[in-house]
């Protein structure tokens, strides 16, 4: 059979997402929730475009008892007003419980004022009311009051955690898992952690399809991007540590071919080439040590909300020389005077000192460690 014949057979055995939603008597938003919960399996081949659904999957769901009412009830999402009526509380108390993180939103939409409106699974709200009846009446517990008085709003973070966990569970490919994590971080931070342009381009090309994310109009893309990114320091640090671990594992399993931009004499590729010449596996071992040092501190900080100073031995020596060649006495004096002038000028203008290209990766790792106050793991604080 020819290649065209194989493609035709595969296309005939699958259908588009919109067609699958009609076959299951689901609206688009309900179908997205069904995919998010794992009730409907979709397949996405690399380079194929939008996800597709196999006909066998549709036939399996249609053959179940109670179709389509049972399926639609499992994906029914409600807002604040309907959710409050469902669990028997006022809308104000429902909103407070949601901001405190008592239950997690399943999706959201933007109203005409571009405000985020969160939706919750009716099935999960009913289960919460059955498990926690004391939270529905009387005075709220102290931990709920403390969170609300501190201005906490856990809805966006809980939604991100839920979405990332589901996307990570859909694949075992380390590059695809790294792409999910990279989507939760600022692009500048990703560029600091992953300095090879070919790897960043590869991650951008395999990011998950928006089938698991709500659709928003073009004018609201900024709001959508803000909700997708980890904003709280602890959440961002966790995502950075996970991204470093996944990329390191992906490099060992299936390295991304380098591009011309990686192999130029200047830039990130040149730095990594120098590090590779020091010996195979050096960069990988360093990354593993950094991640292993970060993870216990993250877990301790999350459980106790205290800062822990962990000793991980002396800081490693750089894989390349950082000391410049000696200069003549007159040149040294002139250079020192020039450096002092530039330093005073930066202090006067409040311009942060630039980080040299040869220490970009080390600076990014030290930045994560310094923010966790693991000063014993770094030889000095990174330049901002």
pLDDT in tens, 356-366: 443 444 455 55
| Better-predicted residue by pLDDT, 352 or 102 | 102
Among residues 64, 63, 15, the alpha carbon closest in space to that of 41 is found at: 15
Rounded Cα gap, residues 79 and 102, in angstroms = 15
Give residue-wise pLDDT tens across range 1-26. Answer: 433 343 344 567 899 988 999 999 99
Please state, rounded to an integer, the average pLDDT across all residues of the chain: 74
pTM of the model: 0.64
pLDDT (tens digit, 9 = 90+) per residue, 48-59?
556 789 999 999
Q: Tell me the per-residue pLDDT of 167-201, one tens digit each, with 9 for 90 and over.
A: 888 888 899 999 999 999 999 999 999 989 999 99
Q: 10 or 31, which is more confident?
A: 31
For position 288, what pLDDT does the model report?
Answer: 45
> pLDDT at residue 34 above 50?
yes
Give me the helices (H) in the chain, please: 3-12, 17-23, 28-36, 55-62, 69-74, 80-87, 91-99, 122-131, 142-149, 155-169, 174-182, 187-193, 197-205, 221-228, 233-253, 268-277, 282-304, 329-349, 360-371
Band of residue 61 on the pLDDT scale cut at 50, 70, 90: very high
**pLDDT for the residue 320:** 36
Q: Does 271 have pLDDT greater than 60? A: no
Pick from 235-239, 242-246, 334-338: least confident:
334-338
């Amino acid at each position: 059979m020819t290649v065209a014949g194989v493609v035709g057979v595969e296309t005939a055995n699958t259908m588009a997402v919109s067609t699958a939603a009609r076959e299951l008597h689901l609206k688009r938003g309900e179908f997205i929730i069904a995919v998010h919960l794992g009730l409907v399996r979709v397949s996405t081949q690399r380079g194929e475009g939008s996800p597709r659904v196999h006909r066998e999957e549709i036939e399996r769901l249609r053959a179940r008892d109670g179709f389509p009412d049972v399926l639609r009830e499992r994906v029914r999402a409600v807002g604040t007003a309907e959710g409050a009526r469902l669990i028997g509380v006022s809308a104000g108390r429902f909103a407070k419980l949601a901001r405190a993180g008592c239950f997690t939103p399943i999706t959201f939409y933007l109203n005409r004022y571009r405000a985020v409106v969160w939706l919750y699974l009716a099935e999960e709200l009913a289960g919460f009311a059955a498990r926690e009846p004391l939270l529905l009446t009387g005075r709220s517990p102290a931990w709920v009051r403390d969170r609300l008085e501190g201005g906490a709003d856990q809805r966006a973070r809980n939604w991100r955690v839920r979405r990332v966990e589901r996307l990570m569970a859909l694949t075992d490919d380390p590059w695809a898992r790294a792409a999910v994590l990279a989507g939760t971080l600022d692009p500048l931070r990703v560029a600091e952690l992953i300095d090879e342009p070919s790897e960043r381009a590869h991650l951008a090309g395999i990011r998950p399809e928006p089938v698991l994310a709500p659709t928003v109009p073009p004018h609201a893309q900024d709001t959508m991007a803000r909700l997708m990114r980890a904003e709280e320091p602890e959440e961002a640090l966790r995502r950075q540590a996970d991204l470093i671990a996944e990329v390191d594992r992906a490099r060992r399993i299936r390295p991304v071919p380098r591009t011309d931009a990686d192999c130029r004499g200047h830039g990130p590729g040149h730095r990594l080439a120098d590090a590779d010449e020091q010996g195979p596996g050096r960069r990988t071992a360093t990354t593993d040590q950094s991640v292993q040092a970060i993870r216990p501190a993250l877990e301790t900080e999350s459980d106790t909300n205290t800062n822990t100073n962990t000793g991980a031995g002396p800081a490693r020596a750089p894989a390349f020389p950082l000391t410049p060649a000696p200069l003549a006495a007159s040149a040294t004096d002139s250079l020192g005077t020039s450096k002092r002038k530039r330093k005073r000028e930066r202090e006067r203008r409040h311009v942060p000192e630039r980080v040299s290209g040869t220490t970009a990766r080390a600076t990014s790792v030290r930045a994560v460690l310094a923010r966790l106050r693991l000063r014993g793991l770094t030889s000095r604080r990174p330049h901002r």
